[in-house]
Structures are given as C-alpha cells and as structure tokens.
Amino acid sequence: AIPAVSLHAFRTAQRAAPLSDFGRELFMGLSRGTRSVSPKFFYDAAGSQLFDRICELPEYYPTRTEMRILTEHAAEIAEQIGPHAEVIEFGAGSLTKVRLLLDALRSPRRYVPIDISGEHLGAAAQRLRADYPQLAVQPVVADYTMPLVLPARGEGLGQRVGFFPGSTLGNFSPDEALAFLQLAQRLLRGGGLLVGVDLVKDPALLHAAYNDSQGVTAAFNLNLLRRANRELGTDFDLDNFSHAAFYNAPLRRIEMHLVSRRAQGVTLDGQRFDFEEGETIHTENSHKFTVDGLRALAVKAGLRPAAVWTDPQRLFSVHWLQS
Ligand code: AVI
C-alpha cells in the first residue's frame, strides 16, 4: 500500500505539474467563446478501440467502401504506381488498408509508416515484417503535419507513394488540408499521393453514420471527457453531457459536439469553466468532398490529379495525385 503521506505528495506534485499538450489545448479550447478541442485527442487507447468498432458499424460506410475500392481497382492502382514502390503512410492507422495496397503493388520495396505514437508504430511494424519478409519496414515517429525527414532514398526504389486513407484529410480545416497536401507534394516529388476522401451525399446517410444505433460514436465522443478526467483531473460528469452530430450543409461537414445537458461547472487546472444548458464543446469536423473539389484542392497544392476511383453509389473516392 502507498503510505498516505506520499499519496498526498503525489497528488500535490500532480496538481503542480505543467499541463500536457491535451491539457493546454483543452484549457485554451474551453476559454474561447465558441468552445472546441481538436479531434486528435480522441485517440487514447480506449478511443482507438472505439474508433475500430465504428469502422465495423453497419451505418459507418466509409471504411468498408474504401476497402472495396482498393480491392476492386487494385490492378489499375498498381499500374499507376509501378513496381518497387516505397510506400509512406501518414498515420500508422489501419494495417488492413496498407496490406490491401501492398498486396496490389508489384514487389513493393519499402514501407515507412509515420505516426506520432512510437508505441503503436513498433508493434505495427513487427507484424508487417513477419508477413512481408521482402519489405523493408522503417517506421518514423513524427507529427506528419510538420516538415519531417524521411529515410534516404537508396538504390532500386520505384516511385515514392504517400498513402493517406480513411478521409482523415476531412478532419482538417480547409487551410490545414491545403497545407498538408503542399507538404505531401514536397515530400513525394517524382511520385504521388494515394488519398481516400468521403464524398458529399444524402445527409440522411451521413447523419446515420455519425449517430449509430448502438451508440458507439456517442461513446467515442464522450470518451474525450473520460480521458480528460483521467489524465487532467477534470471533473466532467459524463451523464451531464450528450453526443450531437449533424450535417452542416453550407460548410459540407459533419460536426460533432458534446452538449451540456444542464447548467454546470467544470474545473481544469484550478480554473472553473461554467456551462449553460445546451452549450457545446465542438469536438470534430468531418468534411465531405466532391471529386472535382478534391482535385481542385490538389492542383492548388501543386499536385496533378491523375486518376480517381469510386464505388458504384459514389459514397467514397480514392485519388491518385502525382507530384
Ligand atoms: C478518422 N475520421 C476520418 C473519422 C471521420 O469519419 O471523420 C472519425 C470519426 N468520427 C466519428 N466517426 C468517425
């Protein structure tokens, strides 16, 4: 058992400890008139598991649809990319998706997953090495929205291919999306970017995808408060906030919010933040694109749209943008 005195010292030290990135960003986000926090903080261990469950939900069509596109058009994608490719994945998310790409390509030589979490990366790399013994797997721990250094090119490598599936691009603001594409353009010169983005569609389908009947998306959204309570010592009462997701048609995006169900106060780092009933914390934007809109954005970033694949219902799109 921990003696009471050291427990007290631990708590005091914890209170005095400087806030983490999450703490700082939440503090600033709660201090603004319109309260918000970046969706990047959804993905602690529990949040990542909830996101994996979202991808399996009957209403959440993007994952399934993108995987079908990658499978059905594997030969054409491989044709565009050519042999001996070097695949750079932005965010070491779904090994399932990169496997589809690696299986489609002719003798890919190197796979470089970039992710901010080294822990996640190491395990992912190990599993892939076991299954693709001919592939050099060289993870890079970095924030891929910042300029970064990739392993030197070396002999015998084909095109350098960026892989950015899942419509993660849609979680950026339009300015951030452009900045990311510009960064990718510089990094991938002589090769290209294979990017998957969700398409504008019947709002009812979008609404269902972000308000699933099992409540997994609601749990994913609320987990942000659970994480804050655990990591930052906040006192959010999870029963007093609810999940809200709706399509903002003029801005072509799903917005996710956490809505205060009544007037209440929450404390972070010694500061009290008051909420009125109905006041929200804006937790995510998920932008939806048209095929032409994405291609125009790519051109603005200096990329050349070379091919696009969609499903028959045009729910989702995968673009090959040459650099
Ligand atoms: C990761 N990202 C593309 C997902 C999306 O659809 O915007 C995150 C998500 N949010 C709610 N459901 C899924």
C-alpha 306 – ligand 1 centre gap (Å): 26
Does residue 277 contact residue 261 with C-beta atoms inside 8 Å? Answer: yes
63 lines ligand 1 (CB under 6 A): no
Paired sense of beta strands 280-287 and 253-260, if any = antiparallel
For residue 286, which atom of ligand 1 is closest to its CA? 7
Task: Tally Cβ neighbours within 10 Å of residue 187.
Answer: 20
Does residue 307 contact residue 317 with C-beta atoms inside 8 Å? Answer: no
C-alpha 29 – ligand 1 centre gap (Å): 20
Q: Facing residues of 162 across strands?
A: 88, 193
Residue nearest to ligand 1 atom 2, measured at CA:
168
For residue 171, which atom of ligand 1 is closest to its CA? 7
C-alpha 278 – ligand 1 centre gap (Å): 23
Rg (CA), the chain: 21
Q: 3-class DSSP state for residue 9?
A: helix
112 lines ligand 1 (CB under 6 A): no
pLDDT in the model for residue 282: 98
Compute the C-alpha angle 41/166/57, nearest 5°.
85
Residue nearest to ligand 1 atom 1, measured at CA:
168
ipTM of the complex: 0.99
Closest to 167 measured CA to CA, from 154, 155, 180: 180
Q: What is the pLDDT along the chain (323 residues), one digit of tens a residue?
A: 445 555 555 555 555 578 899 999 999 999 999 999 999 999 998 999 999 999 999 999 999 999 999 999 999 999 999 999 999 999 976 678 999 999 999 999 999 999 887 777 888 888 899 999 999 999 999 999 888 999 999 889 999 999 999 999 999 999 999 999 999 999 999 999 999 999 999 999 999 999 999 999 999 999 999 999 999 999 999 999 999 999 999 999 999 999 999 999 999 999 999 999 999 999 999 999 999 999 999 999 999 999 999 999 999 999 999 99
| Distance, CA of 148 to CA of 6 (rounded, Å) | 42
| Best residue among 55, 65, 171 to mutate for probing ligand 1, ranked by most atoms within 8 Å of CB | 171
